[in-house]
Amino acid sequence: MSRTLTIKDIPREERFAPGHRMCQGCGAAILMRHITKAMPKDAIIVQATGCVEVTTTLYPETSWMHPWLHIAFENAAAGASGVEAALKVLKRKGVLPPEKDVRVVAIGGDGGTFDIGIQALSGLLERGHDVLYIVYDNEAYMNTGIQRSGATPFGAWTTTTPVGRVWHGEWRNKKDIIGIALAHRVPYVATINPAYIPDLYMKINKAMEIKGPKLIHAYSPCVPGWRYEPALTVTVARMAVQTGIWINYEVENNTLNVTTPVPKRKPVREYLRLHGRFRHLTDEEIEKIQEFVDKQVAYVNKLAGKEVIGPVEK
């Protein structure tokens, strides 16, 4: 994929049926709609339990138009490995023609990937199965009622990190899933954001062409869990990129390429004030988050070899 895709290149045909029960303004619904459009029509989706899974497949109905397999919370990656191995065997036995290339995609939420499914994911990446793993990250266990996960960022309110006299929201930092994937020396790792859809298409298209294990980390705003107005989903997602909280990049063969450069960053305060889950933060805590983001940006700039994410605009 050499040409830059634009909004006009998005195919019109829907591959993800409406009528699913995801919340008003769900960020994951935007992601899933475009991920299914970007995939080949015969790709097999293996999905872990999570918000998207329980809201799209209420028996006897399904929103999916791809071959779709339900897998328990912890083993989407293991199931996808099995599907990929079975396809190889079917080709060897002559059931499938050897030139037929069926892509396998595993989709999991942040709980099913960062915490419960990390062992299966590590196994998939280590064994080198030809699978694309997409993690949609809404930064807590939203499906069961906003419990903290390994992806919950510092300071966030959840029902298991409440705000009161003793606790002040989550006190631990978010797990670096991209770093974990890169430690397995995988050929392709990327991050996507629902506010930057053409970028999502380029990354999924590229991942579909690459052989081997791939991980895509998707930012997925959650209206009830993050406590913001449904209409602000895309605004929140865009603000995350503009403040440097989220960086859209891809790592291909150990070369980091930032796909959405931000010449002038906004202060993180502007991102945090959009969320009800951050409303209790004090100035010192916001300063701490700003320092953390500055460090993350400096690290990415160093890997990219130039200043792609600029300094904070005053």
Partner 1 sequence: MSAKLPSWKEVPVGAVILEPGSTRRYKTHEWRTLRPVIKQDKCIRCRICWMYCPDSAILELDKPYVTAASRKYEVTYDVDYDYCKGCGICAQECPVKAIDMVLEVR
Shorter beta-carbon distance to partner 1: residue 44 or 186? 44
Closest approach, Cβ 3 to partner 1, in A, equals 18
Exactly one of 138, 233, 243, 260 binds partner 1 (CB under 8 A); which one? 233
Residue 264, burial from CB neighbour count under 10 angstroms (0-12, 13-18, 19+): exposed
Of the candidate spans 20-28, 159-167, 168-176, 272-280, the one that interacts with partner 1 by CB under 8 A turns out to be: 20-28
Exactly one of 4, 40, 42, 61 binds partner 1 (CB under 8 A); which one? 61
Q: Does residue 57 interact with partner 1 by CB under 8 A?
A: yes
Structure tokens at 34: 């475009």
Shorter beta-carbon distance to partner 1: residue 50 or 150? 50
- Radius of gyration for the alpha carbons in the chain, expressed in angstroms and rounded: 19
Distances (CA, A) of 118 to 129, 168, 273: 16, 27, 32
Shorter beta-carbon distance to partner 1: residue 26 or 146? 26
Query: Phi-psi region for residue 50, left (φ > 0), alpha (ψ -120 to 50) or beta?
Result: left
Shorter beta-carbon distance to partner 1: residue 131 or 197? 197
Q: How far apart are CA 87 and CA 192, in angstroms?
A: 28
Shorter beta-carbon distance to partner 1: residue 195 or 215? 195
Closest approach, Cβ 60 to partner 1, in A, equals 6
Q: Are 71 and 46 in contact (CB under 8 A)?
A: yes
Q: Does residue 24 interact with partner 1 by CB under 8 A?
A: yes
Closest approach, Cβ 134 to partner 1, in A, equals 17
Residue 154: what residue type?
A: F
Q: Does residue 194 interact with partner 1 by CB under 8 A?
A: yes
Look at the block and give the residue holding tokens 């670096």: 176
Q: Are 32 and 16 in contact (CB under 8 A)?
A: yes
Shorter beta-carbon distance to partner 1: residue 215 or 236? 236
Of the candidate spans 56-64, 76-84, 107-115, 296-304, the one that interacts with partner 1 by CB under 8 A turns out to be: 56-64
Look at the block and give the residue holding tokens 């080709």: 91
Q: How far apart are CA 68 and CA 64, in angstroms?
A: 7
Q: Are 258 and 248 in contact (CB under 8 A)?
A: yes
Exactly one of 5, 65, 208, 304 binds partner 1 (CB under 8 A); which one? 65
235-294 residues near partner 1, rule: CB under 8 A: 235
Helices (H) and strands (E) in the chain, counts: 11, 8
Summarize as ranges the residues that interact with partner 1 (CB under 8 A): 7-8, 10, 12, 14, 16-22, 24-27, 29-30, 33-34, 56-66, 194, 197, 223, 229-235
